[in-house]
Every structure is written in C-alpha cells, then in structure tokens.
C-alpha cells in the first residue's frame, strides 16, 4: 500500500488517477489545498505528491515530507515547486512537458490573429457605437508584410513558428539556448538577440518558461527598444512581463496592445485592475493548454509517472535528474 496525495487540481474528478493507481495498491487522497502549512500536514506521509496550481511545495513543506519519493507537477512549468529543496531531500520531481503542445500553439496563433485583425477592438466598437467604424481600427497590417518575433523556441515555439510561417510574413526568434538560425520543414527562422527582436517585430509572442533569471524580461527597457509598435502575445508565464511597464508602453504608443493568457499575480485580478480597463488588452484565463484531449492526457501521464516510480522505476520526465545526480557525486 502506498499513498498518493493530490494537493490541488482543476479536474472534474480523479477517476483517471484512481483507475491507474488503485489496482497497484495505492490510496489516492484528494484535496484543494493552497496553504503551505496545511500542505505539510496533509502530505507528511505521502509516497507521491501531485500539485497543479498551488505554490504549496515550499522548501519548508518539502522538508517535512517523511516518505515522499516523487513530486509531479500537473503541467509543464515547475516554478511553483521548490525543486532545489526536493533535490536536496532526494525527492524526484517530474512534469508533463508534452501534453498540450498543439493546444498552446493554436491559442498563440488565435491570439496573434485576433490582434492582427483587431478582432476584440472591433467587437467592442460595434457594441459601443452600434455602427461599423472601420476607421477606428486603423492601422491593420497585412499578415504577409508582418514580422513575428517568438521568445522561446522550444517545441511549442517551433509549432507556432510553423503555423505563422504558413500564413506568410517573416518569423524570427530569441532563445538563449538556441543561438543559431533554425530550419523546420520548408521554413527557416532567424535567431536574434532580445533587443534585435524587440526592435524588428510587429508581433512578439512569448513562449518562454519562467526561470527566475528572466523575471520581467519584457519590461521598460525592452519596450523602449520597440520601433514597430508591436502587439504582445503572452502564452508563457505572467512573470515575464512587467504589467506597469506594458501599460505605460501602450499609453505612450510604443506598443499597440496585448493579448495575455497569463498575467503576473493572476488569479485573481482586482476588479479595478488597469489591465481590465485598457481596451487594447485581450485576456484569456490561462486556457491555452486546454482541450478535452489535453486534460485527460495530463491526468493520465501524471498518474503514469507515479506508477513508474512506485514500481521501482524512474519518471519519464524526470525534471531534476541532473541536480540529484550532482548531489550524489
């Protein structure tokens, strides 16, 4: 018998987890916990801990886990888990890096096109004026004459690049881990510094993960370099964009507007948050990852990671493998 604690989740139920794990002798305990102190008590005797949105797995919480062998993050980014603390304690950390690649790329494309064609502004204009005021939407650049800058050229960034390239225009990218130009299929993408990308792009699409080192990478300095009044699309992490600097850049005309699936500090937003008041900002509720397929895959793959470890193996997506090996050296 082993115990699996799900500290929080966004699913309708945990039937998939129970179907995979209970035949192995697992007891699956379900909570909606967002307090680290409470989490330390609930997960104290867990063999595996799963977490989705709550930043409950702090260093202090992890230090109080008596039996835990594995932490699984429902999702790609593990920024809500103190990975270094887990590594020091000999706890494996896994994520689910490939459950929603197409979904996020499609959402990025949808938001980019909504900005390019100024769809959300057109909708608001009609509702407000009850007329067809095309003049108020100027300027709209043709897609084929636009430069799309992608920040973060991992698997999702490359999918988005391919979709945008198929529409015409030029796609460039910045990624500190990919410094050479890339050829994907029939398309070639130029590698730029972040400063170069900011200066040359009509649309900037953020796919980068949050590492701590890139906090507010799009801030006042980056916005000051933008020469083509770009639209900003963020489907990466909210911490990558300085909200106040973005709003200032929109007010000053250096940025045309933004479509944000993730926002620093959200949820929740305040009812009087300036992001809500600005009519040049389109918001979606961190839903880029979602489809019925990706939802089921997320639950299934997380449970399978637990199954592998409890059967004596290692996670397929072992996030802190190198850190743990360095600790053993």
For residues 154-175, give the mean pLDDT. Answer: 95
Say yes or no: 277 and 140 in one domain.
yes
Say yes or no: 193 and 274 in one domain.
yes
**pTM (two decimals):** 0.89
Say yes or no: 70 and 82 in one domain.
yes
Long-range Cβ contact pairs of 243-249 (< 8 A, separation 24 or more): 243/274, 243/275, 245/216, 245/218, 245/219, 245/220, 246/218, 247/274, 247/275, 247/278, 248/220, 248/223, 249/220, 249/223
How many folded domains does the chain comprise?
A: 2
Say yes or no: 135 and 250 in one domain.
yes
Is residue 217 within 8 A of residue 239, CB to CB? The reply is: no
Say yes or no: 304 and 253 in one domain.
no
Q: Which domain holds residue 194?
A: 101-283
Say yes or no: 267 and 146 in one domain.
yes
For residues 248-255, give the mean pLDDT. Answer: 97
pLDDT bucket at 327, cuts 50 / 70 / 90 = low
| Max Cα–Cα distance, the chain, nearest Å | 70
Residue 139 has what pLDDT? 85
pLDDT per position as a tens digit, 188-229: 999 999 999 999 999 999 999 998 899 999 999 999 999 999
Task: Indicate the length of the chain as a whole number.
Answer: 329
Say yes or no: 129 and 224 in one domain.
yes
Say yes or no: 38 and 106 in one domain.
no
Q: Residue 159: which CATH number?
A: 3.40.50.720
Residue 43 has what pLDDT? 98
How many whole angstroms separate alpha carbon 195 and alpha carbon 20? 48
Residue 283 DSSP SS3: strand
Is residue 138 within 8 A of residue 112, CB to CB? The reply is: no
pLDDT higher than 70, residue 329: no
Residue 325 has what pLDDT? 74
Say yes or no: 60 and 185 in one domain.
no
Say yes or no: 24 and 114 in one domain.
no
Say yes or no: 146 and 72 in one domain.
no
Say yes or no: 28 and 90 in one domain.
yes
């Amino acid at each position: 018998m082993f115990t699996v604690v799900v500290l929080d989740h966004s699913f309708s139920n945990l039937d998939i987890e129970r179907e995979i794990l209970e035949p192995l002798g697992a007891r699956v305990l379900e909570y909606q916990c967002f307090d680290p102190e409470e989490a330390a008590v609930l997960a104290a005797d867990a063999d595996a801990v799963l977490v989705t949105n709550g930043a409950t797995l702090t260093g202090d919480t992890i230090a109080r886990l008596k039996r835990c062998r594995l932490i699984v993050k429902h999702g790609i980014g593990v920024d809500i888990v103190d990975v270094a603390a887990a590594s020091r304690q000999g706890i494996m950390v896994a994520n689910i890096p490939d459950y929603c690649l197409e979904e996020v790329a499609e959402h990025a494309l949808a938001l980019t096109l909504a900005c390019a064609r100024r769809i959300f502004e057109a909708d608001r204009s009609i509702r407000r004026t009850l007329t067809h005021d095309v003049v108020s939407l100027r300027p709209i650049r043709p897609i084929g004459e636009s430069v799309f800058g992608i920040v973060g050229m991992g698997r999702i960034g490359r999918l988005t690049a391919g979709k945008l390239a198929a529409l015409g225009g030029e796609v460039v990218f910045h990624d500190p881990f990919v410094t050479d130009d890339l050829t994907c299929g029939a398309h070639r993408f130029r590698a730029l510094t972040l400063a170069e990308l900011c200066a040359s792009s009509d649309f900037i699409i953020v796919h980068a993960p949050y590492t701590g080192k890139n906090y507010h990478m799009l801030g006042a300095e980056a916005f000051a370099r933008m020469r083509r009044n770009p639209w900003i699309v963020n489907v990466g992490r909210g911490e990558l964009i300085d909200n106040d600097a973005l709003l200032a850049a929109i007010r000053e005309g250096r940025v045309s507007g933004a479509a944000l699936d993730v926002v620093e500090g959200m949820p929740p937003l305040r009812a009087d948050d300036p992001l809500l008041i600005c009519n040049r900002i389109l918001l979606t509720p961190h839903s880029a990852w979602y489809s019925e397929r990706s939802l089921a895959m997320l639950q299934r793959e997380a449970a399978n990671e637990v199954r592998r470890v409890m059967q004596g193996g290692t996670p397929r997506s072992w996030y802190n493998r190198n850190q743990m090996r360095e600790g053993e050296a």
